[in-house]
Structure formats: C-alpha cells, structure tokens
Amino acid sequence: MAAVQQLKTKVLIIGAGPGGYVAGIRCGQLGLDTVLVDGGDGLGGTCLNVGCIPSKAIIHAAGKFETVAKAAGGGTLGITAAKPAIDLKQTVQWKDGVVKKLNDGVAALLKKAKVKVISGWATFSDAKTCTVKTADGDVVITAEHVILATGSEPVELPFLPFGGDVISSTEALSLSEVPKKLVVVGGGYIGLELGIAYRKLGAEVAIVEMADRILPLFDKALTDPVAKWLTGHGVELHLGARAGGFGDGKLSITTRDGAPMQIAADKVLVTVGRRPRTQGWGLENMGVAMAGPFVKIDERCATSMKNVWAVGDLTGEPMLAHKGSAQGEVVAEIIAHSSGKGGHDRVFDPTTVAAVCFTEPEIAAAGLLPQDVEGRDDVITAVFPFAAIGRALAIEAGEDGGFVRVIASKADHRLIGIQAVGQHVSELSNSFAQMLEMGAVLEDVAGTIHVHPTLGEAFHEASLRALGHAIHI
C-alpha cells in the first residue's frame, strides 16, 4: 500500500466549478500557494460539464434542426429544404467536444496560475484538514485557508428516484436518441430549456408543474410569450398538478382538480430544483454555521469558522454560475490582502445578479421585478415591444410577444429593475446589469445613442417611454 502523502498549502479549494476554479486562478495570479481538489464532474463543475454549456449546445442544435424542419414544412423566407433527420449520438459527440475544449482550457489556465489540481473526493476531519481519495492513494492536506465550493446537485423526488427512464438534467444532455414522449416534472428554467429543445427535435413533450403557471419566479407578462410558444407547439401543460410514481411507461399525476391521471412517457425528466452539496465530505466536522440547507456566509463570503470561506451554490440563491465566479474572485483578493500579497479587502455586494432563461423566447431579468414593487406609487414602469423594432422583424424575432421593460424610481429616475423576453435577449442582460450596477437613471439610457438596427434599441425606447416620449410607438 502506498504511503499516505502529506500536503501543506496556503489555500485549499474544494470543488472546481465556476466558483472554485475562478478562485483558484485568482489565488494563483496573486502568488498564493493553492491546491484545488476536484471530486465531481471534472474541471468547470456542473456548469461546464453537465449544465450551462452542454445545455446551450443542445439548445443550439435543436434550434438549427427546427429551422430546417420549418423550411421542409412548406418553406420559410423563400427557403425550402428536405425533411431533416437527427442522429442525436453525433450531436452529443459534438457537445462533448465543446465541453472537452473548455475543460482543457480551464486546466491550462490553472496550470498557468501554478495551482496544484488533485482529482479525488475530499473528506474533512476538521476545518483545515482533509483526506483526498485519489487513484494513487490518499493525500492528507492541511491548509491555512479553505474555500468551499462544492456546488449543488439535482433534487431527487422520493417517489421518482433517478435511474432507468427517470432522468435528471445530466442524463438528458447525453441521450443517444430523441425520446418519442418526454414528460418533464418541474416547469422551472432547467425543465423548460430542455423540454423546449427536445420538442424542437421532434419529441412529444408534456410538462407537469405544481404552481399555476410555468417559471413561477417571474411575473406572468414575462412568461406569457414562453407559454404561448409551448401551446403553439403542442406541448401539454399540466399546471397545478403533482407528479406521482412511474411504471410501465406511464407517469401518474394528480391534476389541479385532484383527479388521478396517467401520462405515457419514454423518459421522465425530473427538474424540481437543485440543493447544495453538503453531504459526504465532512462538512459536519468543520464547525461552520448553516442558514437552512446552505452554508452561512457574511458579506465577505466568510463562514463562522476563521479562514474558512464558501462560494457559489453552497451559499444560497441565486444559484448561478456567474455569482459563484464573482464570489471566488472576492475571496481570493481578501486572502491575498490579509497575507500581504496585494489584492484588496473586498466585500461581495453586487447591485444585481442578472438571470437568464434560455427558453423560447429567452427571458432576461436584472434588479427588481414588478411583484417586488407592487402597490408602490413611487415607481415608473414602461414596456416597449419588439414588434416595433426593425431589427426584430428582420430576423423573425418580432412576432412572439417579446418586449423590454424598465422599472425606475419616480423621484430621481434611477433604474431599479430591467427585464426582457424575446429572442436573443440573453445578450442584453449584461447591459441591463451594467446600468443597474452603475446607478444609471432613465436619462442615461435615453441619452445613449443606440446602434440601429439592433434589438438593444428596445431598451432605449422603453427608457424614452418611461420619460413620456418614446419615438416608435
């Protein structure tokens, strides 16, 4: 048996997702001796391997397929084509190639930053010591600082355990063929993104959602265009319904009226949320305070244990990759600063963390939503439809009920919330976040000359409308 290897390091990071690997690169850049332990999906974590990136790749392929299918069904824009076919194995291979390229990119960046990467599962015996089970035997690591970035995992329903034809988003991204009938349990963003993609690829799709509407965290005006797409494309919606067990190719559900019902399904995709990964690596031995299921952190991402930090999904909502990366950077700077290595004593206090649903059409939201300002008479809200934007019509993005909406303070016109629904609005999300972060007022957006023809003109016009003088409506 190989001798147990002992390692001492300044910074130990657990988890190589967007929070952990970014913290690792920044620690390395700041000259801190850093070890990164990756026990999960591979470098880049859930996001890169089985989440954000591969799902966007599959969504992109589904969009291409849909375009050709449209052209085959009577033509579009004067373009006709033969009926398309899909070899999902090939599509998945291409997706895996994209993921591998990015994995290798992260590995190269960590190497450049001189971060030691260890593949294996870590278990903590106390707050600063862990044992990592690797292919080459155990490595015991002690560290001055520990950054926890263990991420999250799909929630499993006890009556629908994962396995066989009951799948999570992970398996949905690597199917070898398009299911004839896919039932999605959970109408949040993950279920809808994948359900829509598989509908475009030709699967019959049904969605079972407990709430009375899809994407219940957003307001109805934002989600209506998505609901319109679903019904227009023959997706069965069972709202206010609860899923039960699955057997003999049928999913049992209880409808809104309390009636039992069975839906035929080749695959049942369960997307009822994600939970922090707190089990199986000795968190209970570290003495850190919890906030419900999450690790409790302050504005510096510090836990209740000295020099133990936590970032990303482990720390609570919003469970978004870009939040984890931003927190990872903050922690690296703080550790470097306290160690006399440059960096800054920072806090994590963003004005907004924008969120995007890559549905059909896309939804982007930053800052406050209408439900957050309901009943207040000190705010101005204005909406501008993409149907009045030249560029939207020229790229077939003006017909689905999409719009940009701004919410601002009546007193000083400061922007407090910006949302959009429509094709390609994910690309507007950063300018929304930027404006909120910089404390912009309506006049700032109205006074910026927006490029014509672009979709961003809808943001300009919504701001003009809030000031009472939109041009194109």
Residue 379: CATH number of its domain: 3.30.390.30
12 belongs to a structural domain: yes
Q: Name the average pLDDT for the chain.
A: 97
What is the model's pLDDT at position 1?
Answer: 56
Do residue 121 and residue 181 come from a single domain?
A: no
Query: Does 282 lie in the same domain as 268?
Result: no
> Can you tell me the mean pLDDT for 446-450?
98
Residue 45 pLDDT grade (very low, low, confident, very high; cuts 50, 70, 90): very high
State the average pLDDT over residues 10-14.
98
In this structure, the answer to whether residues 112 and 9 fall within a common structural domain is yes
Instruction: Identify the active-site residue in 452, 460, 469, 472.
Output: 452
Any domain includes 146: yes
| In the chain, % of residues over pLDDT 90 | 97
Distance CA 226, CA 85 (A): 26
pLDDT value for 76: 81
Say whether 452 is catalytic: yes
pTM: 0.96
Q: Cα separation of 434 and 17, whole Å? A: 24
Q: Report d(CA 107, CA 42) in Å as an integer.
A: 10
Using alpha carbons, list the distances in angstroms from residue 435 to 406, 417, 458. 11, 10, 15
- Decide: residue 39, CB within 10 A, 0-12 exposed, 13-18 middle, 19+ buried: buried
CA dist., res. 305 & res. 311, Å (int):
14
Q: How far apart are CA 434 and CA 285, in angstroms?
A: 41
Domain match, 284 and 393 both: no
Are 325 and 18 within 8 A, CB to CB? Answer: yes
| CATH number assigned to the domain comprising residue 113 | 3.50.50.60
At 240 the three-state DSSP class reads: coil
Examine residue 69 and state whether it is found in any structural domain, yes or no: no
In a domain, 345, yes or no: no
Query: Around 6, how many Cα atoms within 13 Å sit in the side-chain half-sphere?
Result: 0
> Do 444 and 359 belong together in one domain?
yes
Dist CA 255 CA 358 (whole Å) = 27
- Report pLDDT for 3: 74
Instruction: Mark whether 214 and 310 lie in a shared domain.
Output: no
Q: What is the mean pLDDT of residues 248-256?
A: 97
Same-domain status, 106 and 42: yes
**Residues 26 and 140 grouped into a single domain:** yes
pLDDT band at 2 (very low <50, low <70, confident <90, very high): low
Counted domains in the chain? 3
Residues 42 and 141 both lie in one domain: yes
Residue at a domain's end among 256, 272, 288:
272
Q: 16 and 149 share a domain?
A: yes
Q: Is residue 215 part of a domain?
A: yes
Split at pLDDT 50, 70, 90, the class of 283 is very high
Burial 442-465 (b: 16+ CB within 10 A, else e): beebbeeebeeebbbbbbbbbbbb
Residue 329 lies in a domain: yes
Residue 371 C-beta-side C-alpha neighbours within 13 Å: 8
Instruction: Tell me the per-residue pLDDT of 137-163, one tens digit each, with 9 for 90 and over.
Output: 999 999 999 999 999 999 999 999 999
What H or E segment, with its residue span, contains residue 71? Answer: helix 52-72
User: What residue numbers bound the domain in which 185 lies?
Assistant: 166-272
| Structure tokens, 468 | 């009472």
Give yes or no for a contact between 205 and 184, defined as CB atoms under 8 angstroms apart. yes
Which parts of 343-396 fold into alpha helices (H)? Answer: 390-394
Mean pLDDT over residues 41-59, rounded? Answer: 95
Q: Rounded distance, CA 209 to CA 414, Å?
A: 36
Same domain, 97 and 205: no
265 and 279 belong to one structural domain:
no
